[in-house]
């Protein structure tokens, strides 16, 4: 019943995360958390969900003696995001077609 929409990407929080990552090489955990405005635990879980789907890659490394995590979209992630946005556009278009047929 989800008309081509990717449920993993459709949830508001993850849609924001994906949209953010779609325009960057990679982004830091804290940066994403502040932009999306969710708690650490929630962001961690969303990134994990995106990771399991193969959409996001997490890179952990130390910087200034502090451990940091960078997230980036995988190729599949970019593709899925683009497809999802396309599905949204199409949702409107197909609605139009259905209307004509009615």
Return all residues near 12 (Cβ < 8 A) that are at least 6 apart.
none
Q: In terms of C-beta density within 10 A (0-12 exposed, 13-18 middle, 19 or more buried), how is residue 2 classed?
A: exposed
Using CB under 7 A as the binding rule, whether residue 91 contacts DNA is answered as no
**Does residue 84 interact with DNA by CB under 7 A?**
no
Contact mark string toward DNA, 38..57, x via CB under 7 A = xxxxx-xxxxxx--------
Residue 92 interaction partner, one of a copy of itself, DNA, none, beta carbon < 5-8 Å per kind: a copy of itself
Show the site string, 35-54: x = touches a copy of itself by CB under 8 A, - = not: xxxx----------------
Q: At what angle do helices 40-52 and 29-36 cross, to 10 degrees?
A: 110
């Amino acid at each position: 019943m989800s008309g081509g929409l990717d449920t993993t990407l459709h949830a508001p929080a993850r849609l924001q995360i994906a949209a953010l990552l779609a325009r960057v090489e990679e982004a830091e955990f804290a940066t994403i958390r502040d932009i999306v405005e969710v708690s650490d635990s929630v962001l961690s879980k969303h990134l994990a969900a995106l990771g399991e789907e193969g959409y996001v890659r997490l890179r952990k490394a130390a910087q200034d003696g502090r451990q940091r995590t960078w997230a980036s979209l995988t190729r599949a992630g970019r593709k899925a995001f683009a497809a999802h946005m396309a599905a949204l556009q199409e949702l409107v278009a197909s609605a139009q077609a259905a209307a004509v047929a009615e």
